[in-house]
């Protein structure tokens, strides 16, 4: 609980049995989390068995694999049903440190910004943490283009460590988004479209065999999806395109990134 606001951590899980206990323990150490919800996307390892041994974790299991975006849709639906005021999404693969949770919660809980991203780029942690150079270059290139298309100044759009206010999750039409990895990108674009601001905190990250990652083929597909999302946003803002992701009326109150200067 933070200033009478319920804090819920959601974990979209897939084959995370080896790292789940460590992630869970560190989340609990932060002292502000009221509930942890883990959604297993039909894992092939012992993720569900491990999760059910952890005290206070609500475990939801998909009988069929719904994809990364589909997993998150369930995470946020369950968090809202649990009366969450602040929702932190963190992967249970221990790539991102849960020690940033109090900082992210305080930014939202104090009314500064309704969305906070844990950025691997700020502070130069990505390469130091072992991010492959080709992924780093792709991340920087995609982010540059997306900032131009979306009119924002984020350091990256591709982190798996995010915090949201209840207001954001209630406002966005998440069910209409992709069930694949591009869901993350669509969600951030929608947040900006609806006029919400986004803050970033510098986040150390680790790359190791157990950490989740997508291969080159799926990375290319994801990158194309990000560019398509940015282009839809820009054309919708210009009034050239009608997009389900970016409804026309909401576009009248376009917002900026919290890192973007006024004017």
In this structure, are residues 100 and 203 in contact, taking their beta carbons and an 8 Å threshold? Answer: yes
Q: Report the predicted TM-score, pTM, of the whole model to 2 decimal places.
A: 0.90
Residue 110 lies in a domain: yes
In this structure, are residues 16 and 95 in contact, taking their beta carbons and an 8 Å threshold? Answer: no
Give the pLDDT band of residue 101 (cuts 50, 70, 90).
very high
Mean pLDDT of all residues in 98-122: 97
pLDDT at 135: 85
Query: How many domains is the chain partitioned into structurally?
Result: 1
Residue 252 lies in a domain: no
Residue 231 lies in a domain: yes
Residue 95 lies in a domain: yes
Domain range enclosing 114: 7-244
Residue 46 lies in a domain: yes
Residue 213 lies in a domain: yes
The most confident of 96-100, 129-133, 202-206, by mean pLDDT: 96-100
Residue 183 lies in a domain: yes
Query: 239: alpha, beta or left, given left = phi > 0 and alpha = psi -120 to 50?
Result: left
Which tokens belong to 33?
């989390």
Which tokens belong to 203?
């986040």
CATH of residue 201's domain is: 3.90.550.10
Residue 2 lies in a domain: no
């Amino acid at each position: 609980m933070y200033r009478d606001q319920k804090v819920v951590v959601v974990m979209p899980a897939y084959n995370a049995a080896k790292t789940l206990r460590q992630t869970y323990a560190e989340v609990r150490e932060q002292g502000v989390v009221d509930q942890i919800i883990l959604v297993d996307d039909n894992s092939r390892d012992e993720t569900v068995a491990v999760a059910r041994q952890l005290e206070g974790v609500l475990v939801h299991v998909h009988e069929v694999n719904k994809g990364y975006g589909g997993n998150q849709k369930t995470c946020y639906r369950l968090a809202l049903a649990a009366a969450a005021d602040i929702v932190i999404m963190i992967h249970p693969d221990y790539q991102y440190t849960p020690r940033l949770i109090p900082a992210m919660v305080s930014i939202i809980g104090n009314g500064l910004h309704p969305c906070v991203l844990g950025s691997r780029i700020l502070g130069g942690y990505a390469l130091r943490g072992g991010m492959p150079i080709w992924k780093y270059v792709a991340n920087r290139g995609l982010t540059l283009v997306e900032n131009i298309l979306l009119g924002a100044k984020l350091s990256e759009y591709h982190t798996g460590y995010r915090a949201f206010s209840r207001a954001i999750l209630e406002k966005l039409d998440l069910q209409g988004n992709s069930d694949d990895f591009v869901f993350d990108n669509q969600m951030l674009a929608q947040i900006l479209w609806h006029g919400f601001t986004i803050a970033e905190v510098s986040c150390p990250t680790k790359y190791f065999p157990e950490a989740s990652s997508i291969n080159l083929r799926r990375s290319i597909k994801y990158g194309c999806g990000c560019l398509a999302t940015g282009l839809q946003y820009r054309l919708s803002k210009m009034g050239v395109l009608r997009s389900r992701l970016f409804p026309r009326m909401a576009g009248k109150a376009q917002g900026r990134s919290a890192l973007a200067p006024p004017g």
